[in-house]
Structures are given as C-alpha cells and as structure tokens.
Amino acid sequence: MRYLTVAFYLFVDLPDYAQRRPALLDLCLERQIKGIILLAPEGINSTVAGAPDDVRAVLAYLRTDPVFATLVHKESWSHTAPFHRMKVRLKKEIVTMGVPGIRPTTGAGTYVKPEHWNALISDPAVVVVDTRNDYEVEIGTFVGALDPRIKTFSQLPDWAAQAPALQAHAGKRPKVAMFCTGGIRCEKSTALLRAQGFDEVYHLEGGILKYLETVPEAQSLWQGECFVFDERVSVGHGLQPGAQQLCRCCRQPLPEGALDSAEFELGVSCPRCFGTSTQQQKDGARERQRQWLLAKSRAQTHIGRVADEGIVQEQ
C-alpha cells in the first residue's frame, strides 16, 4: 500500500472552530485517516495520511464548506504509514507566535510564486529571512538567507525587533523576503512585519516544499535538505526523501557526527537533547525503544507515545 500524505493550512476567521471538531474527527476515523488537525479562531493547520481515496474524501469534505473552499494542499507519498493516530486539537493559534492582534487573513505580505523566488532573493537590496528553528536551518536553507537562530517560532518577534538587518536606514525600512517549510510561519511573520510598519514584505508561496517540487535542481538556490515533521525526516529536490535521521527523544534531526558521540543512544538521546532530559526520561525512552524492537521482531506495529508524532505547527 502507498500512503498519501497531505499538508495544508488556511488562515481564516473561524469563531466556531470548537464546534467543527466532532464531525471532522468522526470522518477521519471512519476513513482510517491518521495524523493531526489543528483548529483555532485563526484557521486550520494539518498533516494527515492514509489511503489516497480516503485522504481525498476528507479534503473534499472540507472544501464543501465555503470557509475552506480555497484550501490548498501539498502531497507526498510513502510506503510506510507516517502517523499512527488521528487527533483533532483545539488551539489558541494554528501556529504559535504569541503576539496578539496579528491577522494573516488581512495583513500578510505579498505571495511570490516559486518560479519567481530566485529573482527576488538574488536582489542585493532584499533581506532574506529563514523563519524556521535553528535545527531546521542547520540542514538546509536558501543561499544568502539570514538565520535568526531561534529555538521556537515564538522567539521570532523578539529577534525581528532587534535584528540589525531589519532596522530602518534614512527613515526607510528594508525590503524583506521570508520563507518557511510550507508557508504558514512566513505568512504569519510577514503579517507581523507589516503590522510594525514594513511596506515591502514578501513570502514564498507554498514554502520550501513547493519550491523543491517546482524548481528544477539545476536552477535552484536551495542548499541542503528540508526538515519535515513526519517519518520522512527530510526531503530534497523533487520532494525525494533525504538522508537525515531523527532523534526519537527530541524529534529533531541528528546533528553531524551524532552517531559517533557518547551522548547518542538509539531511541533515547542525541547530543542535542542529552543534557536536557532527566534520567527518568531516558529510562522511559529505553523502555519504549525496547518495546519497539520487540514489536518489530514480532512484525507488529508499536505506536509509541502520543507526543512522538503529529507535529504540524511548523509547516
């Protein structure tokens, strides 16, 4: 069986978001769809997977609602199930920035299609900002992009307020181009800058994933791989699976040389998280790894912890 994974989000006013949860969850369970959907007053954000007909049935159901009629999704394929549970969660934000009053529905920057992105970021007058977390940037980014070196998206506003490259010169703010994995973070980031008085703010339509899908590798300004929040771990040009491996403890890609580090233990820790997890957490991870190996030896599926999967906020 081939699994179809779809990722989608839409900023849209959704005051009745909580009332939408039961019917959506029931449909996904009926269709045996797995993954996670976030609903919030500002919209919807999701990554789900399953049999192609079932996944497309869920998309069709959403698009019959006028508020989701413009929903755009991205597809990828795998021979193993990317998720093992289905969750529909209610959130304050579909991607957490923590700045009240930011409204991407009306205040986001200008979309730039992937085929026009190279020309924009090659302009020396444009400040190019990677809005993703530091471990994502570490394995790949666009040539010349600034790395805010943030641990979470909610740290971006403070960085933007202090970044020298974003300060006004001679009373004029710079032209800014922002990007992220699938579009959701840069859409909210550009809304933040516009709220702060930036006039020329742009973001990559469909994010890095759409760029890698659309732009031929020979013409690409992307270097490295793109981290994705599912079992593929990373993808490259053409959305082909990358070479990155995942730490099952911190859910981040293993840093270079991790496998040779004394702080690496399969399923338990890596150099990124060794010093931040307690001995109790490490013992729990060892037991989980033991159970996973036991299930594998019996040709069974071990679904692990709820926290092990379903991260979609970082699209």
Query: What are the sequence ranges of the domains in the chain?
Result: 3-94, 104-213, 245-307
pLDDT at 312 over 60: no
pLDDT number for residue 256: 85
Average pLDDT, the chain: 90
pLDDT number for residue 293: 80
Mean per-residue pLDDT for 118-135? 97
Higher pLDDT, 230 or 25: 25
The percentage of the chain sitting over the pLDDT mark of 70, rounded to a whole number, equals 95
Distance CA 253, CA 231 (A): 11
pLDDT number for residue 298: 76
Q: How far is CA 235 from CA 53, 134, 157, 254, 257, in A?
A: 24, 17, 28, 15, 20
Distance CA 77, CA 240 (A): 9
pLDDT number for residue 313: 43
pLDDT number for residue 306: 38
Nearest to 46 by CA among 83, 97, 100, 101: 83
Higher pLDDT, 244 or 91: 91
pLDDT at 314 over 80: no
User: Which band of pLDDT confidence, cut at 50, 70 and 90, is reported for residue 68?
Assistant: very high
pLDDT number for residue 220: 97
* Residue 246 DSSP symbol: B
pLDDT at 309 over 70: no
Tokens 């010349």 sit at which residue? Answer: 144
CATH assignment of 3-94, given 3.40.50.720, 3.30.70.380, 3.30.70.100, 2.30.30.60?
3.30.70.100
- CB 73 within 8 Å of CB 10: no
- CB 9 within 8 Å of CB 314: no
Instruction: Tell me the two tokens of residue 285.
Output: 């991870």
Tell me if residue 43 falls in helix, strand or coil. strand
Longest CA–CA separation in the chain, Å:
68
* Residue 104 DSSP symbol: H
> What tens digit of pLDDT does each residue of 194-249 get?
999 999 999 999 999 999 999 999 999 999 999 988 777 898 999 888 888 888 88
pLDDT at 121 over 90: yes
Tell me the whole-structure pTM to 2 decimals. Answer: 0.84
Task: State the architecture of 104-213 in CATH terms.
Answer: 3-Layer(aba) Sandwich (3.40)
Tokens 């702060």 sit at which residue? Answer: 196
> What tens digit of pLDDT does each residue of 144-190 get?
999 999 999 999 999 999 999 999 998 899 999 999 999 999 999 99
Tell me if residue 13 falls in helix, strand or coil. coil
**25 contact partners, CB below 8 Å, separation of at least 6:** 86, 88
Q: What angle do CA 139, 258, 278 make, to 5 degrees?
A: 110
Catalytic positions, written as ranges? 180
pLDDT number for residue 304: 54
Mean per-residue pLDDT for 91-96? 95
> What tens digit of pLDDT does each residue of 263-297 get?
999 989 999 899 988 899 898 889 888 887 887 77
